[in-house]
Structure 1
């Protein structure tokens, strides 16, 4: 039993930094397996320590791994003292890096379970979900503790490391989902690009998620576990002509989360930085190099570390609707709408809006909401092209359908994500056709705000039109809402569209 006491932190190991503890050493030679040579000998070390308030984001425990180790197993626990109301208690994440190192972006990453597990193992032929199977090579490994929040009393921790010796075993060749499904040619495809399974902090298996996606009428999904790529190899046999499965990651930093949608399988995107480190641009580029989209998730969620503080300059789209529609989504929607105004006055490219369920467990609904994309086919590249172009609307379920177009006086017409380039004084007509939304109200929203609202028929299916000019509306988009249950907020969203821009540039 060893005790590690952290009483003072240097400036270099401040809140956004890291602290490395003293080494845990094991005998260089593997111990004898037993009197007959059978069985699998093991060695165990336990370390305890204390982290005070102000501990760095990451605390690394080096472990010297000798030759001949077949499996490493780690268990940990920490105290959870009573704290005053309104004060954060103790929460500590865990993961591991192998002998290749812990530097940002290094190849040493071998797994992360955050706070979802109290123990894990890994070896060549298998690993706990969230961790990557592979050889346990000799060298210095690092167990990574992430004290997410620390109580005023500090955080007492205990880490137990067990090494099991024996033949190393063989790592299976991973099988990853294909990048294309049969599809319907150029069409609107429904997807959910923010989902969690047992490979991070979710409670559902990949098989359960795939079944729920099909039941929700989805054409594609993206696996986005927190800070790990371990699930990329877990979907074998679950895709098909009717369901495209993309690989990705929810990069979960201390200053916000970002969905890396459709990255190449097994490409790990690091998360160990804050906004003040000025590092996010580097990792946004890494997501794009890996073939993914950069999508800030739930930017105004209220959980610790969930607020997005990196700005939107490096984003490809923004998640304006996360799970059941709520006040934080309303704030994000208003913030996003402001960026449309900036684009309309010549402020550069505009940022498309998307919506995802962020489903973890029952009763979370896969496909609430869902991103509906106009794509040339059901493939990773075509879907990403559609999202980048803003050919997207968002719905609470596959039971909702809509079409939004704007036409000019001479027959010109265009759709979601596009521009109707007509003179500023020309009259244009917006037409919204919608179904599957009984009891709802439809609105046209412009750079001046909500300009036209009309109730839909009791059947939930109908068409509303509105006439305007580009001088009067730089863009317009549609919202379909349920009745409000409070006088303070508009009703929950049933569907919304990206904008159609009006006028010549």
Structure 2
């Protein structure tokens, strides 16, 4: 058994390890007395070791507890707890995450990752044939494993913790071959497809099963979804049964760093993306490229959210799209929308690539609605490749539900026409007609937003269905995008969004 003094001594002796990623601390190694029952342990023994310690304020992002796993182990079980002392208002309390790496080690981007549950669970197990949701089943091989503790926040009193490691011996069992969702569903050819690409099940900190999520996605009128568990790909092999001709299921991850979250959207099944770095470590570009090499998109999530560690600090140079609307519309979404619009202005002035916007529910549990909002994508078919290409190109709009639908375009002389995410090639002074058709938005109004600001507004009919047109030129507006807004709750502020589009660009 390891006591408080041993753990604290290990912290002093080993110190901090800084390896081009977030600072980490390695504690003293936990060892078990017997290699296997036939080497001295009772036949039905389940040996346990307990480690206790206290992390001070200012602790590193990750604390690794090495555990020597002997031969013959069938299952490793880990349970943990920590104190939550009362703190003054405005002071951060204790929050401690947990995960594990196997004998292949904790190197950033290495092969050793075996699971992460953050703060969603107080215990987990791993064996060859099964593992706790969030963890990867597979053999429990002999060697040094590493329990990863993540002190997310530490109170002024320090974070006192206890970790119990239990081993179970026996035949290892067989690891099932993973079966992943197909990359194609029965689409409608080139059409508008509705999706929600930021969702959480019980494979991270959500409460719903994949089956429950899939049923709610279908009820919300969605054609595709993307799995996005926090810092784990363990769910990928548990979605195949929920896919069908009517629902395309993409696989991904919400890479949850201490400086913001990013949705790895539509990566190859089985892809794990490391999250153990901050903006100052200069590692995000590497992992953004890893996401793209795995066939996915890099989508910063809720960039102006106010939760600890949620605010996006990596910049948008690596983003393929950005999530500007996350769940029911709130003030931080308004900030994200306006910040994104500023990037459009900057791209017009510089001539550099623009970043499309999208919206997702980030639903975790009841009563979080799935598909509020949803990204509606013009794609050549209901396939992984076509959907991701449509999002990357910005051929999309965001709607609060399946009830809201839009058609947005710009037309110039000689039959020239451009839709959402496209460019209408006209001379600077050529007349341009912008047209928005709306359905399913009773009580709403329309705003046309350009690089010069909001240049046209109009109220929709009481039915919520109508058409709004506006005349402009490329000289006057370098791009035009549309917003459909609810009545304002505060007279001087804009109302909540019911829908918005990516821009149509005007000119050469």
Contact 1:32 1:41 in 2 (8 A): no
- Structure 1, unmatched stretches of 5+, are none
Aligned mate of 2:86, from 47, 69, 82: 82
Q: Does residue 217 of structure 1 match 2:221?
A: yes
Q: Hey, what's the Cα distance between the residues in 2 that align with 1:87 and 1:225?
A: 28
User: Helix, strand or coil: the match of 1:25?
Assistant: coil
Pairwise mapping of residues 60-99 of structure 1 onto structure 2 (< 5 A)? 60-99=64-103
- Structure 2, unmatched stretches of 5+, are none
Contact 1:33 1:40 in 2 (8 A): no
Aligned mate of 1:132, from 131, 136, 160: 136
Q: Hey, what's the Cα distance between the residues in 2 that align with 1:175 and 1:141?
A: 27
User: Helix, strand or coil: the match of 1:237?
Assistant: helix
Deviation at 1:7, TM superposition (A): 6.4
User: Helix, strand or coil: the match of 2:333?
Assistant: helix
Please list the CA deviations of residues 249-287 of structure 1 after superposition, one character each: whole Å capped at 9, or x if unmatched. 000000000000001111100000000000000000000
Q: Hey, what's the Cα distance between the residues in 1 that align with 2:33 and 2:247?
A: 50
Deviation at 1:155, TM superposition (A): 0.3
Pairwise mapping of residues 328-367 of structure 1 onto structure 2 (< 5 A)? 328-367=332-371
Mark the CA change 1:487 to 1:87 in structure 2 (over 3 Å): closer, same or farther.
farther
Q: Does residue 21 of structure 1 match 2:60?
A: no
2:182 aligns with: 178
Q: Does residue 54 of structure 1 match 2:82?
A: no
Deviation at 1:489, TM superposition (A): 2.8
Please list the CA deviations of residues 94-120 of structure 1 after superposition, one character each: whole Å capped at 9, or x if unmatched. 000000010000010000000000000
Please list the CA deviations of residues 55-75 of structure 1 after superposition, one character each: whole Å capped at 9, or x if unmatched. 000000000000000000000
Q: Does residue 200 of structure 1 match 2:204?
A: yes
Q: Hey, what's the Cα distance between the residues in 2 that align with 1:271 and 1:27?
A: 34
Deviation at 1:33, TM superposition (A): 10
Contact 1:93 1:146 in 2 (8 A): yes
TM-score, structure 1 as length reference: 0.97
Contact 1:403 1:432 in 2 (8 A): yes
Mark the CA change 1:502 to 1:277 in structure 2 (over 3 Å): closer, same or farther.
same
Q: Hey, what's the Cα distance between the residues in 2 that align with 1:8 and 1:33?
A: 32
Please list the CA deviations of residues 360-419 of structure 1 after superposition, one character each: whole Å capped at 9, or x if unmatched. 001110000001100000011101111111101000001111100111132211100000
Deviation at 1:197, TM superposition (A): 0.4
User: Helix, strand or coil: the match of 2:299?
Assistant: strand
Q: Hey, what's the Cα distance between the residues in 1 that align with 2:493 and 2:14?
A: 45
Mark the CA change 1:314 to 1:270 in structure 2 (over 3 Å): closer, same or farther.
same
Q: Does residue 295 of structure 1 match 2:299?
A: yes
Contact 2:419 2:504 in 1 (8 A): yes
Pairwise mapping of residues 271-286 of structure 1 onto structure 2 (< 5 A)? 271-286=275-290
Q: Hey, what's the Cα distance between the residues in 1 that align with 2:444 and 2:265?
A: 31
Deviation at 1:428, TM superposition (A): 0.4
Q: Hey, what's the Cα distance between the residues in 1 that align with 2:25 and 2:40?
A: 39
Please list the CA deviations of residues 109-147 of structure 1 after superposition, one character each: whole Å capped at 9, or x if unmatched. 000000000000010000000000000000000000000
Deviation at 1:13, TM superposition (A): 5.6
User: Helix, strand or coil: the match of 2:241?
Assistant: coil
RMSD: 1.6
Q: Does residue 153 of structure 1 match 2:157?
A: yes
Pairwise mapping of residues 354-393 of structure 1 onto structure 2 (< 5 A)? 354-393=358-397
Mark the CA change 1:385 to 1:84 in structure 2 (over 3 Å): closer, same or farther.
same
Aligned mate of 2:454, from 450, 471, 474: 450
User: Helix, strand or coil: the match of 2:455?
Assistant: strand
TM-score, structure 2 as length reference: 0.97
Q: Which runs of 4+ in 1 moved over 3 A?
A: 6-16, 32-35
Deviation at 1:8, TM superposition (A): 9.4
Q: Does residue 422 of structure 1 match 2:411?
A: no
Q: Hey, what's the Cα distance between the residues in 2 that align with 1:346 and 1:49?
A: 53
Q: Hey, what's the Cα distance between the residues in 2 that align with 1:21 and 1:249?
A: 29
Q: Hey, what's the Cα distance between the residues in 2 that align with 1:416 and 1:222?
A: 23
User: Helix, strand or coil: the match of 1:439?
Assistant: coil
Contact 2:15 2:25 in 1 (8 A): no
User: Helix, strand or coil: the match of 2:240?
Assistant: coil
Q: Hey, what's the Cα distance between the residues in 2 that align with 1:34 and 1:278?
A: 50
Deviation at 1:40, TM superposition (A): 3.9
Contact 1:51 1:155 in 2 (8 A): yes
User: Helix, strand or coil: the match of 2:371?
Assistant: coil
Q: Hey, what's the Cα distance between the residues in 1 that align with 2:13 and 2:329?
A: 44
How many pairs are equivalent? 502
Deviation at 1:16, TM superposition (A): 3.3
Q: Hey, what's the Cα distance between the residues in 2 that align with 1:148 and 1:142?
A: 18
